[in-house]
Amino acid sequence: MIRAMTTERGTRRRAPAGAAVLREDVTDAIRAAVFEELAAVGFARMSIEGIARRAGVGKTAVYRRWKSKLALVLDLVAAVAAQGMPAPATGSLYGDVRAVLELAAYALRHPVASQVIPDLLVEAARNPEISEAIKAALLDQQQGVAAVVVREAVARGELPEGSDPDRALDLIVGPLYWRLVVVRGELPKGYLDDLAASAVAALRSGDVGGG
């Protein structure tokens, strides 16, 4: 996952003359350590010293790449956002909704993400920079996916004209987020199937129209 977040542009950029060459394996190790440190102690208690120790490098190696722990976390969040979430193309509204739920459930149940995401959301309420980064990584990305799902469903005649992607996203992902992040409950067998069917029924009823 960490290697996937290293963009092609970043790996191909030529270092300026006289600049120190930053080893990619060290950068990857630091990024992995940040996720682990966030999950273990949270953003408020996270330190450059702890990250460096977990990555097996000196503090200087971290500071060569990022000026602070905030800059480091913002960079990671931006890298996650840059990966994007592919819009499903199953050919049906139910299939697309079910695919969105599957991806969201996988991410929210990940042992690291399940600790990191809630902590960063708390920090976002205090820090505008983190708030904007989280918005770009989570909200903007998923809004784009929802817009595609709704547009394709309207084109197939499965949803009425004027269906609102933002309301659709709330309806599809909201209950799942509540269950996994807020309540921290398990997903019973067939839960995602039932949730997808319920979301599709509500979407088709016209209750989530843009009016």
Question: pLDDT tens digits, the chain, 211 residues: what are they?
Answer: 333 333 333 334 444 444 456 788 899 899 889 888 888 888 888 999 999 999 999 999 999 999 888 888 888 777 766 666 778 999 999 999 999 999 888 878 876 677 777 777 788 888 888 888 777 777 777 888 999 999 999 999 999 989 999 999 999 999 998 998 888 888 999 999 999 999 999 998 864 444 4
pLDDT of residue 82: 62
* Packing angle of the helix pair 48-55, 69-83 (nearest 10 deg): 60
Q: Which residue in this structure is represented by tokens 């969040």? A: 77
Q: Which of 193, 189, 167, 179 is nearest to 99 (CA)?
A: 193
The answer for 125, left when phi > 0, alpha when psi is -120 to 50, beta otherwise, is alpha
* Per-residue model confidence (pLDDT) at position 64: 92
Please report the pLDDT score of residue 74 as a whole number.
Answer: 80
Cβ neighbors of 151 (< 8 A, separation 6 or more) are 165
- C-alpha span between 18 and 2 (Å, rounded): 28
Q: Helices 165-177 and 93-109 meet at what angle, rounded to 10?
A: 40
Reduced to 3 states (helix: H, G, I; strand: E, B; else coil), residue 55 is helix
- Helix or strand or coil: residue 163? strand
Domain boundaries, the chain: 23-77, 83-203
| Residue-wise DSSP of 81-137 | HHH--PPP--SSHHHHHHHHHHHHHHHHHSTTHHHHHHHHHHHHTT-HHHHHHHIII
For the domain spanning 83-203, the CATH number is 1.10.357.10
pTM: 0.68
Give the burial string for 104-143 (b: 16+ CB within 10 Å, else e).
bbeebeeeebebbbebbeebbeebeebeebbebbbeebbe
The fold for domain 23-77 equals Arc Repressor Mutant, subunit A (1.10.10)
Distance from C-alpha of 151 to C-alpha of 157, rounded to nearest angstrom: 10
What is residue 109's predicted lDDT score, i.e. its pLDDT?
82
End-to-end CA distance of the chain: 40
CA 24 to chain centre: 23
Kindly tell me the number of DSSP H helices and DSSP E strands found in the chain: 11, 0
Report the pLDDT value the prediction gives residue 80, as an integer from 0 to 100.
Answer: 67
